[in-house]
């Protein structure tokens, strides 16, 4: 049971980003205001989620996992939204992946019961916080990563000192040379796995890796093959405790390769849980992941365009037309991610009127904190004027969600249905 009613019952004060309110408003009353984004009823800029695309993506991923025989623990850091995380679990997700202990605490507060911390658990205060959660709630399942003998020793000592009455489950992380955390060589993985299995208070629960940092398909497949081999070696040495064993990978670019790489794996006498951790599938995007998913569709042999749909947009108003081929928009680095490419103008609309054609060749080529520069080739004519709206697709949803404490859920006509909250 998710603790979402408290969010709907909260009173929103004037000043909430994207909302046009001038007096307090209960969140559950947002839909009753009958706002429409294209009518400029909201404050601008405003971040919106298209309800139809979200539901399509939820259905698509559920079908994908069922077809490939894998489980899903999507990375909750993408949205950090209790409403969206609840929707993912209600649509078949096995659990949720998170990156920090405050994220874990927030997820548990709103009803998440099973978490993979896709990170090493090292800081003393974070270790104590996790052990406290596990002690207070016997039904809370938690898994963390470890990639060093020092990490094993720290965790074992902490669990013993705390007096936790159940073991702390750990996944040994395989990494890539020159990339993020994780053991670089198979021999290191096995040394850490043996140490976990022998350490008081700890339990070896599986093998984990992150293939998303690879630059090509071949590297991904080699990496997944190494994970599978390590799983079998650890199983042959009888290092895994408990009835279930986890093997987990799968960012948002190559999760199809992960699903195929895990196919057919087994651990004698135990239930193997092959778990994907893609988070960006829920909203997809108009840039980086849109292109990655197009390549995935080609590998899957599916119909082009039938896969995941972009659901997240940021709408802004034209503040100024200071030059014939330039419009300044009311959106900047405080409103949209720019780490994997600048936002893309995808639509224009005149409030109270009709949709407009964007100037041919128009691109956002620069952003300041609160402004975006929409520029097009000299000589191109356009009717775009001050006060018109420009809808923007983004690249990499993670770094747009964290800029909005509240996003508006809209239908295909951009009527506002409700709000979702984020906790960053």
| CATH number assigned to the domain covering 51-300 | 3.20.20.10
Mean pLDDT in residue range 192-218: 95
In the chain, % of residues over pLDDT 90: 93
Both tokens of 70, joined, read 């894998």
What residues form DSSP beta bridges with 190? none
Residues 331-340 have pLDDT tens digits of 999 999 999 9
Q: What is the pLDDT of residue 136?
A: 96
Mean pLDDT in residue range 94-120: 98
Residues 1-59 have pLDDT tens digits of 789 999 999 999 999 999 999 999 999 999 999 999 999 999 999 999 999 999 999 99
User: For helices 82-90 and 101-109, what crossing angle results, to 10°?
Assistant: 70
* Per-residue 3-state assignment (H helix, E strand, C coil) for 92-128: CCCCEEECCHHHHHHHHHCCCCEEEEEEECCCHHHHH
DSSP 316-359: EEEEEEEETTEEEES--TTTS--BTB--EEEEEE-TTS-EEPPP
Residues 380-414 have pLDDT tens digits of 999 999 999 999 999 999 999 999 999 999 999 99
**pLDDT over 90 (residue 297):** no
Q: Identify the CA nearest to 343 among candidates 356, 330, 325.
A: 330
| CATH number assigned to the domain covering 4-50+310-421 | 2.40.37.20
Residues 155-186 have pLDDT tens digits of 999 999 999 999 999 999 999 999 999 999 99
Alpha helix (H) residue ranges in 254-407: 255-262, 288-300, 398-401
pLDDT-derived band at 300 (thresholds 50, 70, 90) equals confident
What is the residue whose two structure tokens read 């409700």? 418
Domain ranges of the chain: 4-50+310-421, 51-300
d(CA 316, CA 35): 16
Rg (CA), the chain: 23
- DSSP SS3 for 365: strand
**pLDDT over 70 (residue 305):** no
pTM across the whole model: 0.96
Q: Do the bridges between strand 312-323 and strand 344-349 make them parallel or antiparallel, or are there none, so unpaired?
A: unpaired
**pLDDT over 90 (residue 254):** yes
Both tokens of 236, joined, read 């042959």
d(CA 410, CA 343): 20
Q: Which strand (E) or helix (H) includes residue 276?
A: strand 271-276
Q: What is the pLDDT of residue 301?
A: 82
**Do 287 and 394 contact (CB within 8 A), yes or no?**
yes
d(CA 363, CA 373): 8
Q: What is the pLDDT of residue 304?
A: 63
What residues form DSSP beta bridges with 202? 168
Q: Helix, strand, coil shares of the chain as percentages rounded to 5?
A: 35, 25, 40
**Do 143 and 246 contact (CB within 8 A), yes or no?**
yes
Q: Which residues contact 269 (CB under 8 A, 6 or more apart)?
A: none
pLDDT-derived band at 63 (thresholds 50, 70, 90) equals very high
- The full length of the chain comes to 424
At residue 348, φ and ψ (nearest 5 deg) are -140, 150
**pLDDT over 80 (residue 341):** yes
d(CA 36, CA 7): 22
Torsion sign (Cα): 133, 139, 140, 145: positive
Q: Do the bridges between strand 271-276 and strand 25-26 make them parallel or antiparallel, or are there none, so unpaired?
A: unpaired
Exposure letters 387-408 (e unless 16+ CB within 10 A, then b): ebbbbbbbbbbbbbbbbbebbb
Average pLDDT score over the chain: 96
Q: Identify the CA nearest to 103 among candidates 132, 81, 128.
A: 81
d(CA 358, CA 329): 13
């Amino acid at each position: 049971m998710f603790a979402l009613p408290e969010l709907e019952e909260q009173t929103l004060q004037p000043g909430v980003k994207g909302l046009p309110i001038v007096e307090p408003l209960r969140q559950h009353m947002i839909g009753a205001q009958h706002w429409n984004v294209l009518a400029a009823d909201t404050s601008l800029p405003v971040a919106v989620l298209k309800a139809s695309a979200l539901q399509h993506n939820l259905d698509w991923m559920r079908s994908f996992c069922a077809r490939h025989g894998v489980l899903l623990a999507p990375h909750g850091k993408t949205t950090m939204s209790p409403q969206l995380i609840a929707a993912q679990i209600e649509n078949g997700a096995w659990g949720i992946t998170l990156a920090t202990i405050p994220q874990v605490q927030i997820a548990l507060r709103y009803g998440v019961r099973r978490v993979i911390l896709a990170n090493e658990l090292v800081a003393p205060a974070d270790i104590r916080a996790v052990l406290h959660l596990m002690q207070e709630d016997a039904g809370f399942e938690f898994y963390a990563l470890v990639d060093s003998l020092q990490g094993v020793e720290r965790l074992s000592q902490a669990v013993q000192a705390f007096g936790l009455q159940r073991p702390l489950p750990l996944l040994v992380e395989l990494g890539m040379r020159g990339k993020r955390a994780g053991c670089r060589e198979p021999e290191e993985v096995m040394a850490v796995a043996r140490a976990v299995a022998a350490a008081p208070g700890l339990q070896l629960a599986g093998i984990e890796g992150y293939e998303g940092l690879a630059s090509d398909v071949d590297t991904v497949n080699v990496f997944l093959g190494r994970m599978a081999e390590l799983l079998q070696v650890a199983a042959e040495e009888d290092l895994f405790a408990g009835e279930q064993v986890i093997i987990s990978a799968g960012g948002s670019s190559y999760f199809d390769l992960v699903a195929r790489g895990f196919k057919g794996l087994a651990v004698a006498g135990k239930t193997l849980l092959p778990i994907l951790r893609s988070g960006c599938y829920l909203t997809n995007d108009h840039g980086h992941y849109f292109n990655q998913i197009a390549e995935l569709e080609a590998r899957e042999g599916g119909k082009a365009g039938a896969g995941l749909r972009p659901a997240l947009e940021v709408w802004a108003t034209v503040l100024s037309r200071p030059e014939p081929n330039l419009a300044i928009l009311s959106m900047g680095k405080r409103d949209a991610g720019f780490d994997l490419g600048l936002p893309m103008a995808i639509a224009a609309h005149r409030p109270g009127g009709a949709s407009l054609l964007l100037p041919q060749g128009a691109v956002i080529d620069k952003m300041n904190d609160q402004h975006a520069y929409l520029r097009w080739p000299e000589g191109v004519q356009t009717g775009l004027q001050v006060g018109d709206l420009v809808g923007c697709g983004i690249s990499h949803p993670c770094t747009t969600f964290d800029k909005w404490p509240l996003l508006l859920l809209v239908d295909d006509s951009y009527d506002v249905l409700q709000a979702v909250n984020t906790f960053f």
